[in-house]
Amino acid sequence: MGPLAGIKIIELAGIGPGPFAAMLFADMGATVIRVDRVQKADLGVALPPRLNIMNRGRRSIAVDLKSKAGVDVVLRLVSQADALIEGFRPGVTERLGLGPEVCLARNPKLVFGRMTGYGQSGPMSSVAGHDINYIALSGVLNMIGERGRKPVPPLNLVGDFGGGGMFLVFGVLCGIIEARSSGKGQVVDAAMTEGAALLANMVWGFRGMNQWSEARADNVLDGGSHFYDTYETKDGKYMAIGAIEKVFYVKLLELMDLNPAEFEPQHDKSKWPQWKARFAEVFKTKTRDEWTKLMAHEDACAFPVLTAEEATTHPHNQARQAFVKHAGVMQVAPAPRFSRTAPELTLPPPSAGEHSAEILREFGFANEEISSLQSGKTVL
């Protein structure tokens, strides 16, 4: 099932972008084997295994990576895989005996995907950090927030998942495609600082034209303009406005019962503060649902700001089945869609070691070997 059926990925269990990348592979039909540790590690997640949605779609084997026998188990899995992904600080897998040199010696076509905050080299490569730190260093965090106030972290979406996990998947897939023609694997060095910065490359274009201010909420797309922002409604909820193009801008003004001639020229930044204040007054005259009904099916680029619960029940999202209940947990369905090789959700998130024996058999281990590994607690 899915366009990546037949591809095998070994995931060394970690947190954040690594599991997210593995989930994307599994969602698209790849066989993903999650290697958990026998020793309980602090992965920063307190969720019960079945609720850790990012671990969906794959099986788990629990291995003692501090033992030579455990490392040998992983290397035997690696020898039959297309790629391995890991999210440790530089040098950790080398110290375990599972670094790129060792793995590529076992499997010359292997793509070794490495996910870190700052990359495998450079003066900060071994420094600890999280999403907020990575996007701060990339210059992205400084762009997000209200005028005159501190930067606002956009959850952990820009560094961990957008600039991290998605770029790791992209890099690994590029490596797999190239390896099929060259017969040679390679290392993919995915750094969240660089991925996050790349997501903002359009802003660098604006900067090159001297059309981007370093001040927050002073630009078209950062809440600085009156036509691209959120506005509170009469009932304390919000509408999201994105009327950038002239035809949408004019339609928005008409639906707000405002004279378009009084809000021109649209890109006169000196008028934006007073026009934003006027928009704020108008939007408070109706409830969010009243505005939604008024602007529904109109090309004004005005939509309600929904809660997570409301998003699951919105007619469009329901028609697209964008949210699904899988293994008893509401979650986001796999994306994007495919016309022929449609992906579908399969396994629920596993407990550590839930499929150890099954995986070992599949990778050619004899029953006697499996019993020996389990009795010796090399594998649980």
Residue in the block written with tokens 């998947």:
169
Q: Between vectors from CA 160 to CA 158 and to CA 164, what angle results, nearest 5°?
A: 90
Which residues are identified as catalytic?
130, 160
CB 28 within 8 Å of CB 334: yes
Nearest to 378 by CA among 105, 76, 110: 76
How do the residues of the chain divide into helix, strand and coil, expressed in percent and rounded to 5?
40, 15, 45
Sign of CA dihedral 336, 340, 341, 343: positive
Q: Between vectors from CA 45 to CA 42 and to CA 1, what angle results, nearest 5°?
A: 115
Residue 263 has which token pair? 């809000």
Nearest to 262 by CA among 226, 298, 292, 223: 226
**Host H or E run for residue 221:** none
CA 114 from centre of chain: 16
Tell me the C-alpha distance between 329 and 100, whole Å: 37
